[in-house]
Amino acid sequence: MSENKLERIKCLIIGSGPAGYTAAIYASRADLKPVLYTGMEPGGQLTTTTEVDNFPGYPEGIDGPTMMIQLQKQAERFGTEVRMGMVTEVDFSTERGGIHKVCVDNTTWVEAETIIISTGATAKYLGLPSEQRLRGGGVSACAVCDGFFYKNQDVAIVGGGDTAAEEATYLANICNKVTMLVRKDEMRASKAMQHRVTTTKNIDLRYNTEVDEVLGEQVVEGLRMLNNKTGEKETIAITGLFIAIGHKPNTDIFKGKLTMDESGYVLTELKSTKTNIPGVFASGDVQDNVYRQAITAAGTGCMAALDAERYLGEVEAE
């Protein structure tokens, strides 16, 4: 396809989680005629979640897939065009008011005056078949999201960094007992976070310990642990297993094109969603390595649409 025949989009949204759909709602209401490409996982991480109890406006809670369908319908109601497809390559213009090009599914190129990146981040898992089978049945990568369901129960958490330490102490406040598995003979967490863990009475800290098997058919019923120094195995009864070994932002196609931190999260200007490229904005977990909640992702999606609208207005006035 020759360049003069490329489809021109005023606001292109890449990703379909809470950030992407919220950006679409605001952008379509601002008459930016947004086009949203869903990516490989339409609806994002929330489609792998059962009950969502901490998103405002749902007093009885809602399951993740239903919530994402409702967000999509709301975006479409105002004119967003939702397309199945994955952006596989980008060619950003570095000029203010420049036109950006993206390739979808390695075949089709389109042009965009503004782009909102909402590709999210993927939680890292251990890769055990039993762990994958029980995701959503007691295995979770977000203690803040799902910890409430295990109130007064025995749970376990895997990880030795600051996030794992923070989530372990969070769980200790609501759960009966928290067994914390650290693969090495020391934690990677800061001294302050280590102190919080070691001084919390109902956290059972196990060094040199890994998950050997997650037990249970439909839901988590127990955990078989392996001491990687002695080879000794031990089984404990738990109802929830939380994996806190990190997230990987879905930013591979933007490497070398957008400014990122050492972990691959897109860096945005303070109190905005602006990236180092004019007309390109980032929202949601792709630029948030701290909160990683649906509600904060939605908030930055709103910000990105407002930033895009203002950018287009300013460019037009120049």
Residues 6+ apart with CB under 8 A from 108: 1, 85
Residue 267 has pLDDT above 90, yes or no: yes
| Residues 306-318 pLDDT 10s | 999 999 999 999 8
Report the distance separating Cα 216 and Cα 201, nearest Å: 27
Write the CA distances from 140 to 28, 71, 274, 289, integer angstroms: 34, 23, 32, 17
- Alpha carbon 271 to chain centroid distance? 20
| Least confident interval from 4-8, 18-22, 259-263, 282-286 | 4-8
Instruction: Give CA–CA dist 91/103, Å, rounded.
Output: 8
- The answer to whether 28 and 74 are in contact (CB under 8 A) is no
- Any idea which residues carry the catalytic annotation? 142, 145-146
pLDDT at residue 132, rounded to an integer: 93
Higher pLDDT, 252 or 40: 252
How confident is residue 2, by pLDDT bands cut at 50, 70 and 90?
very low
Is residue 92 over pLDDT 50? yes
Confidence at residue 49, expressed as pLDDT on a 0 to 100 scale: 65
Least confident of 62-66, 101-105, 165-169, 197-201: 62-66
> pLDDT category, 1, cuts 50, 70, 90?
very low
Tell me which residue has tokens 């994958």.
132
Position with higher pLDDT, 54 vs 177: 177
Q: Taking residues 231-250, what's their average pLDDT?
A: 95
pLDDT tens column, 128-163: 999 999 998 999 998 988 899 999 999 999 999 988
pLDDT, position 52:
83
Residues 58, 232: Cα–Cα separation, whole Å: 46
Contact in structure between 146 and 240 (CB atoms under 8 Å): yes
Report CA 238 to chain centroid distance, whole Å. Answer: 26
Query: What is the pLDDT at residue 50?
Result: 64
Q: Which two tokens mark 195?
A: 């102190």
Q: Is the pLDDT of residue 112 over 90?
A: yes
Chain centre to alpha carbon of residue 318: 37
